[in-house]
Structure 1
Amino acid sequence: MNRRVPIALVPVLALSLAGCQSAPAPATAPEPTGDGHGAIAGAAELAEPALHLTSLTAAGEIHHLDLLDETSETLGEITPPTSLETDGRFLYAGRDGGVGVVDSGVWTWNHVDHFHYYEAPAALLGDLAGDGEPTVVASDLGAGVRFDGGEAVLLDLDALKKGRIEERFRLDVPAGPGMVVPLPTGALVTDADRLRHVDAAGAEIETVPCTDPAGSIATNVGVVVGCADGAILAVTDADGTAFERIPYPDGAQARALSFAARESRPTVAGATDGDAFWLLDTRERAWTRIDAGEPLARVAAVDDADQHVVALTEKGEVLVIDGESGKALARTEPLVAASLADPVLAAGVTLQIDANRTYLNGPAENVMFEIDHADSARIARTFEADAPAFVAETGR
């Protein structure tokens, strides 16, 4: 089956795509434009998600692999990236001085109790310029960019859906690392010891104590920001946004530095700089520490019925771990050892998790792996690829 639509290969293209995204809380989910759920100009509604692996080479060439029919095409080229973030539709490719924005043209819209799936022309939307190296936080709520030269930017998600890069705000902030974390309305801008809750225009609403913020993820409960002593959970409903602190258990060591999970699930995995990792259940407001017994390069929570967690060892093996007992259920042979041995390539090696599969890229091995985490980490498919330095699963 071939669902191909034309690819728009232009640096900046205004698309008439009023497609919608899911949100962590049903109360904040946007409604689609048009006369009905399928009446979105420029997009076709599908019976199933148009899942793709969108990969970037170190030189900035973008490849789009259809996971249904295994056809691949080149979308174009952007400035060579050093990082990549995605919300499942848009790709944000960062490098010193800017962020290249790509619309993959495939996405899923969450209608609370069911989903709608869309495909439209992919496009290279252009570039967001800034001072220094960018840190991007992207979710269905939008994208925030913190340039370490001292600029904080919140992008306009509605404009992105129409093919335009527009800023909701750009604030001067202290130079150095930090984040701009999108909320259903406004964002959180991190400082060294606090989170500044700002509205969509960048005006400060309130501050929330948070020492050494690091890592953020959106769940179906709320938005998480990691702090030295635990996490802040921002929960938004019709009455506004409330902030809850989820402290680590007494005596906890080695805090979570980043978070990863299947999209919109309540339980997320927090990677540390040691052998252990954390599971944060945002519904129960509880942490669980799991000692893997060996150094891990990546970890992500599947949060399925069997509480699977997928991890990548520093040797390049993929582990499937029982999230309740901490027991390793399955282990692959080393798949991306050469990539992890190269510090530059290792920075782009990621685990992409959905309900049924885990995807892993090996830029040195010139391959992308599809792994069935529910079937003893079986290698379901391998895809030859031209040095996939970064990869994102799109259409989810």
Structure 2
Amino acid sequence: MFVRRNVIPWAPAALVAVSLVTTSCAGQNDDVSAPKSTAPASAPHGYVEGAQEKAEQQSRLLLNDPQTGDTRVLDLITGKAQEVSRTTGATELTTDGRFGYFHTSDGTHVLDGGAWTVDHGDHVHYYRAAIRDVGRLPAGPGTRVRSDAAVTAVTDEDGRAGIYRRAELEKGKVGTPRALPGTHAGVVVPYAEHLLSLTDNGRDAAKLAVYDREGKRVASPDAACEDPRGDAVTRRGVVLGCADGALLVHEADGAFTAREIPYGDDVPAEERATAFRHRPGSDTLTAPAGDRAVWVLDVTERTWKRVRTGPVVSASTAGEGSVLIVLETDGSLHGYDIATGKQVSRTKPLLTGASAAGTDGNAGPVIEVDRSRAYLNDPKGKRVHEIDYNDNLRVARTFDLDIEPALMAETGR
């Protein structure tokens, strides 16, 4: 694997205002067979056995070719790609920031990407550890996986949910789930040491319900959501996409409230937001709004904005004053000022051949965004582009690969 560098190699910036204590894990390496180390005498909060704490974010890209099953983990610190076990027939690849979930027809394969961030609000810890296979979740197409620090909720296409202990996954085992009662119209989302669900009664709009981690319903806020699709966890709360806009669910002092964020106008079904993308930690969400526009949801202001673009393949933003980044069918990235809707930057065509057209589901080009860079996969070109979105979408690095990375997700954030 070769890296073509357009500028001096970049390394992610640490949060300089944060004082971190580095663990004494000298000798730990990052390949799949790396042995575990014992916890240091003064392990920082959030430490996991076998991990090294680092002073900067340890971003990695999980990459998969569904046709061959070839899978790589691209370390964005070293620029090296590591071969891991094959997963054939994956239709979707999702992540919770550490684990990758490869969704196939006969189950969901779990890979520990070996990089994660622990955010305590006033300070942050960054960790890296060995990459390793965890096992298979017995849930096939349509499965949705959401996690917090303690549990992983798995909702199947029939609306049944199982809750797995996060500690088991961290030990390299899937474990046995606890069944969450009832049928759920949308995804079950761990949030504020509870589980949020939209319960399905088969007749009216789904009702919001709050469960504790043992599966007991503890609250039923007066809120409903018709045809729930799409969700995101932000610092302001959990956003749940609905037919007429979104619900924002927030917890304070143990109490849960829900506020509607309506579109404001009638939106045709084919133009509503059904899947959100954003930078983790950001309160600005994006979603396609039909074929030639993108929704931008400002969660803080609780407002929607529809930005007119060219034909959309994928979109995202870092939020907080950054541009809206849109991959269009011309193979170029386009930057739009969210406030005015005007295009302010554009790259040359970056994708090769059919890659620019996009595909169904999430098998195809996507834009992953972190605190400093964005990443765009080019399946047919067998490469990934690193984009400096603060510098007119400048291509900072290009990573050449030996596989077609049709599926991509970023961990370590």
Q: In the alignment, which of 352, 362, 367 is matched to residue 351 of structure 1?
A: 367
Match of 1:102 in 2: 111
Q: In the alignment, which of 392, 396, 408 is matched to residue 380 of structure 1?
A: 396
The one-letter code matched in structure 2 to 1:156 is: R
The one-letter code matched in structure 2 to 1:66 is: D
Given the alignment of the two structures, is residue 223 of structure 1 paired with residue 260 of structure 2, yes or no? no
Matches of 1:104 and 1:114 in 2, distance apart? 23
Match of 1:75 in 2: 84
Matches of 1:149 and 1:371 in 2, distance apart? 39
Matches within 5 A, 1:105-184: 105-130=114-139, 132-137=141-146, 143-166=152-175, 168-171=177-180, 178-184=186-192
Matches within 5 A, 1:201-350: 201-204=214-217, 205-206=219-220, 208-252=223-267, 254-292=271-309, 294-304=310-320, 306-336=321-351, 337-341=353-357, 343=359, 347-350=363-366
| Shift in Å, 1:152 | 2.1
Q: Residues 12-36 of structure 1: CA distance to partner in whole angstroms, max 9, x if unpaired?
A: x9x7999xxxxxxxxxxxxxx9643
| Shift in Å, 1:263 | 0.8
SS in 1 for 2:319: coil
| Shift in Å, 1:105 | 0.9
Distance 1:146 1:36, change over 3 A: closer
SS in 1 for 2:280: coil
Task: Tell me if structure 2 keeps the 8 A contact 1:339–1:346.
Answer: no
Task: Tell me if structure 2 keeps the 8 A contact 1:17–1:43.
Answer: no
SS in 2 for 1:334: coil
The one-letter code matched in structure 2 to 1:102 is: L
The one-letter code matched in structure 2 to 1:210 is: C
Match of 2:382 in 1: 366
Given the alignment of the two structures, is residue 53 of structure 1 paired with residue 70 of structure 2, yes or no? no
Matches of 2:267 and 2:312 in 1, distance apart? 19
Task: Tell me if structure 2 keeps the 8 A contact 1:83–1:348.
Answer: no
Task: Tell me if structure 2 keeps the 8 A contact 1:181–1:189.
Answer: yes
Task: Tell me if structure 1 keeps the 8 A contact 2:164–2:175.
Answer: yes
SS in 2 for 1:259: coil
Unaligned runs of 5+ in 2: 1-10, 12-25
The one-letter code matched in structure 1 to 2:60 is: H
Matches of 2:358 and 2:44 in 1, distance apart? 49
Distance 1:68 1:35, change over 3 A: closer
| Shift in Å, 1:353 | 0.3
Matches of 1:173 and 1:274 in 2, distance apart? 36
Distance 1:142 1:366, change over 3 A: farther
Match of 2:6 in 1: none
Distance 1:154 1:318, change over 3 A: farther
Q: Residues 128-160 of structure 1: CA distance to partner in whole angstroms, max 9, x if unpaired?
A: 003654233456675433222453233322332
Matches of 1:184 and 1:98 in 2, distance apart? 28
Match of 2:52 in 1: 44
Matches of 1:251 and 1:96 in 2, distance apart? 36
SS in 2 for 1:338: helix
Q: State how many pairs are aligned.
A: 377
Task: Tell me if structure 2 keeps the 8 A contact 1:144–1:152.
Answer: yes
Unaligned runs of 5+ in 1: 19-32
- Identity value in percent: 33
Matches of 2:50 and 2:33 in 1, distance apart? 16
SS in 2 for 1:339: helix
Task: Tell me if structure 2 keeps the 8 A contact 1:50–1:117.
Answer: yes
| Shift in Å, 1:381 | 1.1
| Shift in Å, 1:366 | 0.8
**Cα RMSD between the aligned structures?**
3.1
Q: Residues 247-301 of structure 1: CA distance to partner in whole angstroms, max 9, x if unpaired?
A: 2224555321111111111111132223222221212222222222x22121112
Task: Tell me if structure 1 keeps the 8 A contact 2:272–2:289.
Answer: yes
With the length of structure 2 as denominator, give the TM-score of the two structures: 0.81
Matches of 1:285 and 1:163 in 2, distance apart? 40
